[in-house]
Amino acid sequence: MPKTIKRSLTPMFAMVPLAAEPLWHVGSFPITNSLVNAVIVTFGFCVIASITSEKAAMIPKGAYNIIEAVVETLLNEIEKVVGEAKKARAFFPLIATIFLFVLANNWLGLIPGTGTIGIYEVIHGEVELVPLLRPAGSDLNFTLALALVTVVVSHMAGVRAVGAFDYFSKFVNFKGIWKSLGKGPMAIITAVIEFGVGFIEIIGEVAKTLSLSLRLFGNVLAGEILMGVMLGLVSYVVPIPFIFLEILVGIVQATVFSMLSLVYLMIATTPHGGHDEEHHEVATH
């Protein structure tokens, strides 16, 4: 080995970089260890879905009881928040998928070998271990993509529920200006002010996406760093309570992300026309 290259063979689990590390490249597209983690989880869900759909029965047995219990629990919790069975069933596929996907990605990072099994590469003049697996939630690309999907789907659901014109009038209030014509100057002034306030709603949508992604990314990455520090100090027994803590954190983060997504869907699919008309009626008197 050349003298200019230093050996740094300590596991990368003890020192988690901010960005996911590329393992291979397909053309110019990097295959990162967090992407591998997400693909494994996706493949696992596909296998489970395929097996359970082919062998579905009126009276579930064995593992099917667990799957049915999970589905019923998630559906009941969504219905408690939504307050309507029809909407709960409509929102269930997206919200349940987000919850289980985030949870599985978080928990997969706790399996022994994650962060310690990998390939050695020369990075900045040092030989370092690049782990084959990294929790997808500790990659900002993953959390940002998931947040974007959630926000975009909520807008699509809003357009479908209340109509494109009414829905986008919440952001750019053309509807209010149109209805204020002929109702007097105060109604027009109020509509123009609401038109300007609508741009704050647009900024809020951007902030919503950043908040969803950064919250999940920060908590999962902090957990990885904490586990790395504890395993670096004491390798046996002492890290066990922190592993259970990370299991709990994984549940909490999956719940928070999915529940916020559910709230965004509820807000997007709630009509806004009546609220605007009340303001215009008040302005005319």
The single-letter code of the amino acid at 151 is V
152-190 pLDDT, tens per residue?
999 898 888 888 877 777 777 666 666 666 666 666 676
Q: pTM, whole model, 2 decimals?
A: 0.76
Q: Which of 205, 146, 183, 212 is nearest to 276 (CA)?
A: 183
With pLDDT > 70 as the criterion, what percentage of the chain qualifies?
Answer: 69
Question: Which 3 state secondary structure label does DSSP give 7?
Answer: strand
Which is it for strands 126-131 and 6-7: parallel, antiparallel or unpaired?
parallel
How confident is the prediction for the chain on average, in pLDDT? 77
199-225 pLDDT, tens per residue?
777 788 888 889 889 988 888 888 777
Nearest-angstrom CA–CA distance, 116 and 120: 11
Q: Is there a contact between 126 and 5 (Cβ–Cβ < 8 Å)?
A: yes
User: Can you give 70-104 as a three-state secondary structure string?
Assistant: HHHHHHHHHHHHHCCHHHHHHHHHHHHHHHHHHHH
| Partners of 31 in beta bridges | 24
Q: Is there a contact between 78 and 59 (Cβ–Cβ < 8 Å)?
A: no
Nearest 5°: CA angle at 78, between 72 and 79?
Answer: 85
Nearest-angstrom CA–CA distance, 172 and 202: 9
